[in-house]
């Protein structure tokens, strides 16, 4: 994780601003001979794309991804595959409305990175948020689509589990429901409630936060790189690095602070497949920074959209006090669209650690081990 690149062996570098000619990314280190075409990536981008319901910004971008490099026809396989060289992806920015930025270009919107970019670099691209635009996250989703293909058997799914103070009923969790409502919500009843609730938020020119949960099934045991490249450490960085995220937790998370040792430590029995089964998953699939083979479970908190109609007090870049009210296209709950982004980040981190483990250890030692022979 550094600058605009993340990952150590599966490496993603993104570029682009909201209102430049294009956004893009370079995925470097991807294994060769993985079938890949735009059709493998586009569906994930479509899930993230705004403008699909009244609950997300009405900016209309087709977000059509193009692969510029790193793939080739494998004649023997009869299909296009990765070559092991950098895969460059690009999405043209097409919905750049000619807009008057005079109100926004000198003012710092509360909750936005306007001030921090300005004070860091001495200038900023104020059009549509520039580099801090949520648009950049499209490339994370695209990279994540590739990452999903790197780890055999990996399935990464996300869901919105809280909006404002309203939590879903976890006993009603139905993954199939996630794609049936506008909120990626696994609880059908709560989804109906959210529709009404969010309409209210939107109508009063406000916004609201949310909590997203991402679950990765099929993560092999043994991924993670102690002490400073722990799987949970890298997940935390990846998820905290998503726009508007203010908290990350693994497994029992902050709830673990309230548990006793005997409540928290997941007991172990032998499963039918000859591998350990944990009787609970407070660990969220990670112990000592290394995957246990159980599902990896991460949650992250997304703050409410900072661009709201309600006027806020602020200052401008010349040090004058002023007010700002943000009109235009904005999601009343950016947490919704964070679902596919969170999935993508988790997939990228797991793919990276999968390759790292293969690099350091190679073939996994057979488990269970044979007892030492008697002398």
Contacts of a copy of itself in 91-130 (CB under 8 A):
108-113, 115-125, 130
Q: Contacting a copy of itself (CB under 8 A), which of 45, 146, 219, 238? A: 238
Contacts of residue 33, Cβ cutoff 8 Å, sequence gap at least 6: 74, 77, 81, 82, 84
CB 219 within 8 A of CB 207: no
Q: Contacting a copy of itself (CB under 8 A), which of 39, 176, 318, 374? A: 318
Cα–Cα distance, 70 to 286 (Å, whole number) = 33
Residue 211 touches a copy of itself, criterion: CB under 8 A:
yes
- Mask for 167-186, x = binds a copy of itself (CB under 8 A): --------------------
Q: Contacting a copy of itself (CB under 8 A), which of 41, 151, 178, 283? A: 283
Joined tokens for residue 24: 């893009």
Residues forming beta bridges with residue 73, ordered by sequence position = 80
Helix, coil or strand: residue 253: helix
Helix, coil or strand: residue 154: coil
Site for a copy of itself in 52-91 (CB under 8 A): 66, 68-70, 72, 74-76, 81, 83-88
Residue 207 touches a copy of itself, criterion: CB under 8 A:
yes
Q: Which is nearer to a copy of itself, 177 or 331 (CB)?
A: 331
Residue 229 touches a copy of itself, criterion: CB under 8 A:
yes
Cα–Cα distance, 35 to 60 (Å, whole number) = 30
* Alpha-carbon 261 to chain mean position: 31
Helix, coil or strand: residue 139: helix
Give the interface segment with a copy of itself, choosing from 47-55, 171-179, 186-194, 280-288 (CB under 8 A).
280-288
CB 25 within 8 A of CB 12: yes
Q: Considering CB under 8 A, how many residues would be counted as binding a copy of itself?
A: 170
350 to 9, 67, 68, 286, 320: CA distances (angstroms)? 11, 23, 25, 12, 47
Q: Contacting a copy of itself (CB under 8 A), which of 144, 158, 293, 342? A: 293
Q: Contacting a copy of itself (CB under 8 A), which of 41, 104, 159, 208? A: 208
Residue 8 touches a copy of itself, criterion: CB under 8 A:
yes
Give the interface segment with a copy of itself, choosing from 51-59, 173-181, 189-197, 364-372 (CB under 8 A).
364-372
Least Cα distance to 219 among 265, 286, 275 occurs for: 286
Q: Which is nearer to a copy of itself, 57 or 207 (CB)?
A: 207
């Amino acid at each position: 994780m550094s600058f605009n690149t993340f990952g150590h062996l599966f490496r993603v570098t993104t570029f682009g601003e909201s209102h430049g000619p294009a956004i893009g990314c370079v995925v470097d280190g991807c294994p060769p001979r993985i079938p890949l075409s735009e059709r493998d990536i586009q569906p994930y981008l479509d899930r993230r794309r705004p403008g699909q319901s009244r609950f997300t910004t009405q900016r209309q971008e087709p977000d059509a991804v193009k692969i510029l490099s790193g793939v080739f026809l494998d004649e023997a396989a009869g299909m296009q595959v990765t070559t092991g060289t950098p895969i460059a992806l690009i999405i043209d920015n097409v919905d750049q409305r000619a807009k008057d930025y005079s109100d926004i270009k000198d003012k710092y919107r509360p909750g936005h990175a306007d001030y921090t970019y300005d004070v860091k670099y001495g200038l900023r691209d104020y059009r549509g948020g520039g580099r801090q635009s949520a648009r950049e996250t499209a490339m994370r989703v695209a990279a994540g689509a590739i990452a999903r293909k790197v780890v055999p058997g990996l399935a990464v799914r996300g869901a919105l589990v809280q909006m404002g103070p309203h939590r879903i009923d976890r006993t009603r969790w139905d993954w199939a429901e996630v794609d049936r409502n506008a909120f990626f919500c696994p609880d059908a009843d709560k989804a109906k409630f959210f529709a009404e609730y969010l309409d209210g938020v939107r109508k009063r020119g406000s916004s609201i936060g949310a909590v997203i949960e991402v679950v990765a099934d099929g993560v092999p045991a043994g991924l993670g790189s102690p002490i400073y490249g722990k799987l949970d450490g890298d997940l935390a960085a990846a998820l905290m690095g998503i726009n508007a995220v203010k908290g990350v937790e693994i497994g029992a998370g902050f709830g673990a602070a309230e548990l006793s040792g005997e409540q928290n430590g997941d007991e172990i029995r032998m499963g039918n497949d000859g591998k350990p089964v944990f009787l609970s998953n407070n660990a969220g699939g990670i112990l000592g920074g290394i995957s246990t083979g159980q599902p990896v479970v991460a949650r992250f908190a997304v703050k409410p959209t900072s661009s709201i109609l309600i006027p806020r007090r602020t200052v401008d870049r010349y040090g004058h006090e002023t007010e700002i009210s943000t009109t235009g296209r904005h999601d009343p709950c950016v947490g919704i669209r964070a679902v596919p982004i969170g999935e993508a980040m988790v997939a990228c981190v797991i793919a990276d650690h999968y390759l790292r483990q293969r690099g350091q250890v190679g073939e996994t030692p057979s488990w269970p081990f044979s007892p030492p022979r008697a002398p």
